[in-house]
Chain A
């Protein structure tokens, strides 16, 4: 009987788990500092080790430049000169954002159609899966050809194509995979399909949507940068990487890659932040269980 005593106590009202209380801002900052400290220490250690090791072994900078050289290149090319990093990153981010928006809207629209109409699902899902199996990057030169080499839209569309599938697949799953009991409950209320969509399917799909968005941010940057590799205006990250590498300015190439990485991380964190604001319950639920 010991096991059942345990859960009986747990279910008494006074002992229910409440929302997290007492965690002031200071303790929360301290806690996350303690959480991230090991990662920061390892990162800094690796960079220092890289610098020291490459100096001692005298590795040529055209193979891999030292961190100090990359930092110097960052400073020298921050916003001006032949390889302006910040304006290029912003231009690339704009392409990625436009692509993300187009791909997300399209993905969500198709997801709603396929969740609502079985026929639509029967037609669209196999096509989408087949399309996803194609190495979509291969279309980049074509998109450049269709929409113009200098048109940012050709890069944005590369990003959109990459973003579309994960968004469509995840949102469809979120709309369709609803607890059967929830549908019985709604039926017992004689609720309309529209009501079920609003009150059950859409909220159920939100965590799936944000999972897709986290993948999609990275994909949209990849799409934009790869699109740029195949030509176009020069002050974008992809062109900057290609041009600096062919000019043997590898420290600048690395600085550009670093910029791309930082942009991707910030982009991802923005989504995490929006997720916390829109569906706070999902984050708390993960933390609690």
Chain B
């Protein structure tokens, strides 16, 4: 796969989505306002923005973990709820959410058990997925015996186990150090190219968004809006060398300036929201 896929009919169509949260009986917080976005099959779309811009909220609305206050989300021609019931989504959160009482292999089998697949299929599929994330030697380990990066790879294997048509990833590498994160980025790209899954990816990190995506969706906070959609025309396959090309740096700059114009560069966000300071610093991604 040398280029990003040609435009196909949208797999995800977000139209006029608003989300407001009532905080007690006082003022209402507008988390998202007038969000329109279409994602084609096989695309890799990143949502980037400072804390409080509602990017995780938007991802959760697409995955039908929460409902929008207005507007519609259509996934594979169905409502988001129907898509969830049809198991169209694989989800990876910032925390790996693995069950310590299950081995690595049994964690990956969990969604297959819920889908009612037979034992032989489950085993074969779990092994295949763990090979894909290069954890084939760790089937019988328990999650607490693995490092953070390995745990997140198990979570990815689990999300892919039942071949969902869309992978929703909410800052999956936010808790990892920079070097592990870069390696995980390459792995996700490899998996994306091998499986052809559509990916919606939430991140704080500009380099991560540029390196991975077909398109980067830049969001601004209070209320959360889409301020710019930047196509990433870096050739594929991308690898560590891609991170050193001139075009890569240009695109990183484009995204950073779009964030700044949106009224919320990551640096600004850190000063506005003390809780996000650690994360921004830990990323080492700004600057």
Interface residues of A (CB under 8 A from B): 1, 3-5, 7-8, 10-11, 13, 16-19, 179, 181-182, 184-191, 195, 199-200, 203, 206, 279, 281-282, 284-285, 288-289
Contact = CB atoms under 8 A, between A and B. Distances in A.
A189 B114 contact: yes
A11 B141 contact: no
Interface in B79-112: 84-85, 87, 89-91, 93, 95, 97, 99-101, 110-111
B146 interface: yes
A181 B147 contact: no
Contacts of A4: 177-180
B144 A8 contact: no
B149 A195 contact: no
B138 A16 contact: yes
Interface string B55-88: 0000000010100000000000000000011010
Contacts of B148: 7, 11
A58 B45 CA distance: 87
Interface of B: 63, 65, 84-85, 87, 89-91, 93, 95, 97, 99-101, 110-111, 113-115, 134-135, 137-138, 140-142, 144-150, 176-180, 183
A187 B97 CA distance: 13
Nearest to A279: B101
A187 B180 contact: no
B16 to A, nearest CB: 24
B147 A199 contact: no
Given A179-B97, A189-B115, A281-B101, 13 more contacts: A3-B177, A5-B179, A7-B176, A7-B180, A11-B148, A11-B150, A13-B138, A184-B65, A184-B97, A188-B84, A199-B110, A199-B113, A281-B142
A18 B144 CA distance: 10
A189 B111 contact: yes
Contact of B142 (A1, A13, A184, A284): A284
Nearest to B144: A285
A1 to B, nearest CB: 8
Q: Which 3 A-B pairs have the closest CB atoms?
A: A4-B177, A11-B149, A11-B147
A152 to B, nearest CB: 37
A186 B180 CA distance: 28
- A contacts with B: majority SS: helix
A288 B101 contact: no
Contacts of A8: 149, 177, 179-180, 183
Nearest to B112: A189
B64 to A, nearest CB: 8
A13 B149 CA distance: 10
Contacts of B149: 7-8, 11
A185 B114 contact: no
Given A182-B97, A188-B84, A206-B101, A16 B147 contact: yes
Contact of B147 (A10, A206, A284): A10
Residue of A7, A186, A190, A279 ringed by the most chain B CB atoms within 10 A: A190
A110 B135 CA distance: 42
Contacts of B147: 7, 10-11, 16
B87 A19 contact: no
B180 A11 contact: yes
A38 B114 CA distance: 51
Contacts of A17: 145-146
A39 B85 CA distance: 58
B144 A288 contact: yes
Nearest to A181: B97
Contacts of A184: 65, 91, 93, 97
A190 B100 CA distance: 22
A281 to B, nearest CB: 5
A23 B144 CA distance: 20
Contact of B84 (A13, A18, A190, A279): A190
30 contacts: A1-B178, A4-B177, A4-B178, A7-B177, A8-B180, A8-B183, A10-B147, A11-B150, A11-B180, A13-B134, A13-B150, A16-B138, A16-B146, A18-B145, A19-B140, A179-B95, A181-B95, A185-B91, A185-B93, A185-B97, A188-B63, A188-B90, A188-B91, A189-B110, A189-B111, A189-B115, A191-B114, A281-B100, A282-B100, A285-B142
Nearest to A289: B144
A203 B145 contact: no
B100 A195 contact: no
Contact of A181 (B93, B101, B138, B140): B93
Nearest to B162: A189
A13 B93 CA distance: 22
A13 B135 contact: yes
Contacts of B114: 186, 189, 191, 195, 199
A285 B99 CA distance: 12
Contacts of A13: 134-135, 137-138, 150
A272 to B, nearest CB: 18
